[in-house]
C-alpha cells in the first residue's frame, strides 16, 4: 500500500514529539547525561517501548485493550520510519564536507598523518576480526551468511546512520536481519565507547600517560561542550551574516545539500553504466549497481566544496547551518531506525550478536592501547582517544573523549582529528568501502575480502609505526597545526 503524504507528515511530527520527550528525560535523569546519550538514541528507545514490539506485545499478552494491541505508534508511521533512514543518510553524508576548507593532501598528511594511520588500522582491523569470527564461528555454528563479517565495521565504525542506511543492501542480499544486528552493535558501541573511554582516561591520569591541566572538572567541561556542535571543527562566517530578505539562508543551504546529492546520483549512474558496459556485463562482477547513494553523495559534497573554494565563493556557505541540517537528519535517522529495530531478529541472533560485540570491543580497546603510543609520536592517548571513540560508533564520542583528556587542546588533536576525516570517511566509517563491503563479500566471498583487508590493516600499521612512531624522530611540532607543539614546561609524554 503506497505511503500517503499525510503519513510522512505524521511520522515526522511523532519523531519531533519523541525528541522533545527524550530531551526532557535527559535533563531530568542524570544517568543519561553521565552516559552522554544523545536525545535521538533515547527518543528511538522510547519509540520502541511504546510501539508494537514492547507495549503492543505486552498488551496482547495480558489481553489488554484492543486499541493498544499495536502500541501507540500507528502502522503507517512505522512504515514511513522503516524507509526514512535509507533516504536521509544521503543528507548526512552529503553535508560532511560542505563548508569545510579542503586543503591539499600534503597538508592533511602533515597535520593528521598519525591519526589517519591509527584510524585506518583500527577500521580495517574490524573487518579482519569480523570476517574471521564469521568464518570460524558465525557461519559454521550459527548458520549466518558470510556477510555477517562486515557487521563490525558497519555497526561500530559506521554507527547508527550507516547501519540504517544500508538496510536496502542487506535485504537485497537476503540478510535483512543484518540491519538490526548492525544497529544493535552501534548502540552497544556508543555506550561502551563512553564508559570504557572514561575508564581509559582515568587510568591514563593515574599512570601519568595523560596530564590534565587546572581547568576544572574535565568531565563536567566535556559534558557542557556536548551541548555545542562538536563536529563543527571548521566554523565559518559569511552566509550567517547575509540578509535573508530574498530567501531564508536555511532554504539556500538545503539547496546546497540537494546539489551535492544530485551530483552524487549522477556519479553513481555514470559508474553503474560503466560497469554494465565493461566488467559487469554478461554475468560479470556486479558491484557498483549494488552501491547505495550516500557515499557518492559525500563525494558530491566534496566536489561542490572544491568548486566553491576554487571560485572564491566559500563564504556563501555557513558551516553552522550545514551542521544543523546534517544533525537534524541524523536525529531523524536514529529515532526512526531504533524505533523500528526488530527485537525478534535481534533475539533470534543473540549469540552471534554478543560474540560480535565482545570481539569488536576487544579489538578496539586492544588496538588503541597497543597502537596509539607506537603510531602517535606525542600526546598519544589524548589524540588517539578520538580514533578510539569514533571506532566505537560515533565521531562525537571521539571528540568528547579528547575534550575530557585534553580540555585546553594542548595537543592540537581536535584540528588533526578534523583533517583526518578528509582521508578517512571517504573510504571507511561509512565511506565507499563500507558501502561496498556487503556486495564485495557476496560477489567475491569472505576469504578474498579477509585477505585484502588484512593486507590493508598491516600496511597502515607499518606506515604508522615506521613513518610517525616515537622512534622515527617525528615530533609533535612536525604535525601540530597552528604551531601547536608540546609545552616545554609540561611533563614528558609517554
Annotated domain spans of the chain: 5-483
Q: How far apart are CA 338 and CA 155, in angstroms?
A: 13
Sign of CA dihedral 253, 257, 263, 269: negative
Joined together, the cell numbers standing for residue 166 give: 544500508
Q: What is the pLDDT of residue 486?
A: 39
Whether 129 contacts 333, CB under 8 Å: no
Q: Which tens digits make up the pLDDT trace of 240-261?
A: 444 455 678 889 999 999 999 9
Question: How many Cβ atoms from other residues are within 10 Å of residue 87's Cβ?
Answer: 15
pLDDT at 342 over 70: yes
Q: What is the pLDDT of residue 344?
A: 85
Output 33 or 299, whichever has higher pLDDT.
299
**Which pTM does this prediction carry?**
0.83
Q: What is the pLDDT of residue 493?
A: 40
Whether 298 contacts 221, CB under 8 Å: no
Phi, psi of 406 (to 5 degrees): -140, 70
Q: What is the pLDDT of residue 224?
A: 53
Residue 205: band (very low, low, confident or very high) from pLDDT cuts 50, 70, 90 = confident
Whether 89 contacts 164, CB under 8 Å: yes
Whether 19 contacts 331, CB under 8 Å: yes
Q: Which among 494, 478, 484 has a CA at the least distance from the CA of 410?
A: 484
Q: What is the pLDDT of residue 299?
A: 92
Q: How far apart are CA 3 and CA 81, in angstroms?
A: 11
Q: What is the mean pLDDT of the chain?
A: 85
Residue 213: band (very low, low, confident or very high) from pLDDT cuts 50, 70, 90 = low
Q: What is the pLDDT of residue 477?
A: 46
pLDDT at 11 over 90: yes
Whether 457 contacts 110, CB under 8 Å: no
Torsion angle in degrees (nearest 10) through CA of 130, 135, 141, 146? 80
Query: Exposed, middle or buried by CB within 10 Å (0-12, 13-18, 19+), for 377?
Result: buried
Average pLDDT over residues 155-167: 90
Residue 434: band (very low, low, confident or very high) from pLDDT cuts 50, 70, 90 = very high
CA angle, residues 360, 430, 160, in degrees to nearest 5: 65
Q: Which among 361, 390, 323, 488 has a CA at the least distance from the CA of 112?
A: 390
Output 484 or 74, whichever has higher pLDDT.
74
Torsion angle in degrees (nearest 10) through CA of 227, 230, 233, 239? -40
Residue 212: band (very low, low, confident or very high) from pLDDT cuts 50, 70, 90 = low
**Distances, alpha carbon 301 to alpha carbons 19, 286, 332, in Å:** 28, 26, 21
pLDDT at 133 over 90: yes
Residue 412: band (very low, low, confident or very high) from pLDDT cuts 50, 70, 90 = confident
Average pLDDT over residues 317-325: 91
Return all residues near 219 (Cβ < 8 A) that are at least 6 apart: 198, 404
Q: How far apart are CA 338 and CA 46, in angstroms?
A: 9
Q: How far apart are CA 353 and CA 356, in angstroms?
A: 5
Q: Which among 183, 116, 201 has a CA at the least distance from the CA of 397?
A: 201
Return all residues near 245 (Cβ < 8 A) that are at least 6 apart: none
Q: What is the pLDDT of residue 21?
A: 96
Q: How far apart are CA 226 and CA 403, in angstroms?
A: 10
Q: What is the pLDDT of residue 343?
A: 86
What b/e sequence results for 40-64 when a residue is b if at least 16 CB atoms lie within 10 Å of its CB, and e otherwise? bbbbbbbbbebbbbebbbebeeeee
pLDDT at 211 over 80: no
Q: What is the pLDDT of residue 473?
A: 64
Q: Which tens digits make up the pLDDT trace of 446-463?
A: 999 999 999 999 999 999
pLDDT at 159 over 50: yes
End-to-end CA distance of the chain: 62
Residue with cell string 565493461:
278
Average pLDDT over residues 340-358: 91
Query: Exposed, middle or buried by CB within 10 Å (0-12, 13-18, 19+), for 1?
Result: exposed
Q: Which among 93, 41, 155, 42 has a CA at the least distance from the CA of 431?
A: 93
Whether 22 contacts 331, CB under 8 Å: no
Average pLDDT over residues 326-330: 90
Q: How far apart are CA 405 and CA 418, in angstroms?
A: 17
Return the axis-axis angle of helices 319-339 and 249-277, rounded to nearest 10°.
70
Joined together, the cell numbers standing for residue 3 give: 505511503
Please tell me the least confidently modeled range out of 30-44, 112-126, 141-155. 30-44
Q: What is the pLDDT of residue 282?
A: 67
pLDDT at 391 over 90: yes
pLDDT at 187 over 50: yes
Q: What is the CA radius of gyration of the chain?
A: 22
Runs of H (alpha helix) within 229-293: 249-277
pLDDT at 478 over 80: no
Tell me 68's DSSP state. G
Average pLDDT over residues 296-320: 92
Amino acid at each position: 500500500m503506497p505511503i500517503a503524504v499525510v503519513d510522512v507528515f505524521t511520522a515526522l511530527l511523532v519523531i519531533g514529539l519523541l525528541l522533545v520527550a527524550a530531551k526532557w528525560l535527559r535533563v531530568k535523569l542524570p544517568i543519561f547525561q553521565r552516559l552522554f546519550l544523545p536525545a535521538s538514541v533515547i527518543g528511538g528507545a522510547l519509540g520502541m517501548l511504546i510501539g508494537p514490539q514492547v507495549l503492543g506485545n505486552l498488551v496482547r499478552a495480558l489481553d489488554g485493550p484492543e486499541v493498544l494491541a499495536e502500541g501507540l505508534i500507528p502502522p503507517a508511521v512505522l512504515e514511513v520510519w522503516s524507509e526514512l533512514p535509507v533516504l536521509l543518510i544521503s543528507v548526512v553524508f552529503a553535508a560532511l564536507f560542505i563548508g569545510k576548507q579542503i586543503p591539499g593532501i600534503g597538508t592533511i598528511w602533515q597535520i593528521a598523518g598519525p591519526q589517519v594511520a591509527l584510524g585506518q588500522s583500527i577500521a580495517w582491523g574490524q573487518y579482519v576480526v569480523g570476517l574471521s569470527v564469521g568464518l570460524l564461528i558465525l557461519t559454521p555454528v550459527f548458520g549466518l551468511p558470510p556477510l555477517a563479517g562486515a557487521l563490525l565495521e558497519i555497526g561500530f565504525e559506521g554507527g547508527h546512520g550507516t547501519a540504517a542506511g544500508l538496510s536496502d543492501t542487506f535485504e537485497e542480499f537476503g540478510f535483512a536481519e543484518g540491519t538490526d544486528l548492525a544497529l544493535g552493535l552501534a548502540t552497544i558501541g556508543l555506550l561502551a565507547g563512553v564508559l570504557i573511554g572514561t575508564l581509559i582516561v582515568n587510568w591514563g591520569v593515574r599512570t601519568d600517560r595523560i596530564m590534565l591541566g587546572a581547568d576544572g572538572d574535565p568531565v563536567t567541561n566535556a559534558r557542557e561542550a556536548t551541548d555545542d556542535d562538536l563536529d563543527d571543527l571548521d566554523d565559518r562566517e559569511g552566509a550567517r551574516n547575509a540578509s535573508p530578505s530574498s530567501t531564508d539562508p536555511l532554504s539556500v543551504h538545503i539547496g546546497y545539500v540537494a546539489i551535492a546529492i544530485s551530483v552524487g546520483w549522477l556519479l553513481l549512474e555514470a559508474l553503474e553504466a560503466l560497469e554494465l558496459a565493461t566488467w559487469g556485463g554478461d554475468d560479470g562482477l556486479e558491484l557498483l549497481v549494488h552501491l547505495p547513494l550516500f557515499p557518492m553523495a559525500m563525494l558530491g559534497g566534496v566536489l561542490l566544496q572544491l568548486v566553491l573554494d576554487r571560485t572564491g565563493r566559500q563564504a556563501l556557505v555557513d558551516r553552522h547551518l550545514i551542521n544543523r541540517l546534517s544533525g537534524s537528519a541524523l536525529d531523524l535517522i536514529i529515532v526512526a531506525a531504533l524505533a523500528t529495530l526488530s527485537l525478534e531478529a535481534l533475539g533470534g541472533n543473540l549469540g552471534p550478536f554478543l560474540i560480535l560485540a565482545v570481539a569488536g570491543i576487544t579489538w578496539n580497546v586492544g588496538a588503541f592501547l597497543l597502537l596509539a603510543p607506537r603510531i602517535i609520536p606525542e600526546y598519544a592517548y589524548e589524540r588517539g582517544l578520538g580514533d578510539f571513540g569514533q571506532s566505537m560508533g560515533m565521531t562525537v564520542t571521539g571528540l568528547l573523549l579528547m575534550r575530557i583528556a585534553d580540555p585546553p587542546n594542548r595537543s592540537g588533536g581536535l584540528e588533526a582529528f578534523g583533517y583526518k576525516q578528509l582521508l578517512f570517511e571517504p573510504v571507511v566509517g561509512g565511506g565507499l568501502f563500507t558501502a561496498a563491503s556487503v556486495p564485495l563479500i557476496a560477489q567475491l566471498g569472505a576469504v578474498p575480502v579477509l585477505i585484502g583487508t588484512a593486507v590493508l590493516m598491516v600496511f597502515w600499521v607499518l606506515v604508522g609505526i615506521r613513518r610517525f612512531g616515537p622512534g622515527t624522530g617525528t615530533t609533535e611540532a612536525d604535525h601540530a597545526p597552528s604551531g601547536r607543539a608540546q609545552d616545554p614546561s609540561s611533563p614528558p609524554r609517554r
